[in-house]
Amino acid sequence: MSRIIRTGLATAVLGTAITGIALSSGPAQARACFLSIELEHFNGSVVGARSRYCEPPGVDNPLPTTIQRKSGTSWVNVTATGTGGAAYKCVGTSSRTYRLKETPTAVKTFPCS
């Protein structure tokens, strides 16, 4: 058998295998995903967490999380960006306003400076 015919047959067989896989796949499943956002004062720290939970397959995916503190009219990062969570240890009890950089509308004030 010549090399050209063998290459043609191999391509035809591969094409059939790929087509068979495409035809055997079922309908696409709808995925429901939920975003979880937490910013709390706990045990002398400001703690933030973000994740996305999708069903199926029932997996919780951590998301980048950075805690910011309001300073005048601007916001200052008080933690490095964590994957899924971050915590800032309070050094005083003066009330300050905090948020997660990635969700700037969720703003809370805690007795933590």
Q: Is 69 part of any domain?
A: yes
Q: What is the pLDDT of residues 27-72, one digit of tens each?
A: 566 779 999 999 999 999 999 999 999 988 888 999 999 999 999 9
For residue 34, which phi and psi values (nearest 5 degrees)? Answer: -125, 135
The DSSP string of 55-110 is ETTTEEEE-EE-EEEEETTEEEE-S--EESEEEEE-S--SEEEEEETTEEEEEEEE
Domain that holds residue 88: 32-111
CATH number at residue 54: 2.60.40
| pTM for the structure as a whole | 0.70
Q: Is 96 part of any domain?
A: yes
What does the pLDDT read at residue 6? 40
Q: Is 11 part of any domain?
A: no
How many domains does the chain contain in total? 1
Q: Is 3 part of any domain?
A: no
Q: What is the pLDDT of residues 3-35, one digit of tens each?
A: 444 434 334 443 433 333 344 444 566 779 999
Query: What length is written for the chain?
Result: 113
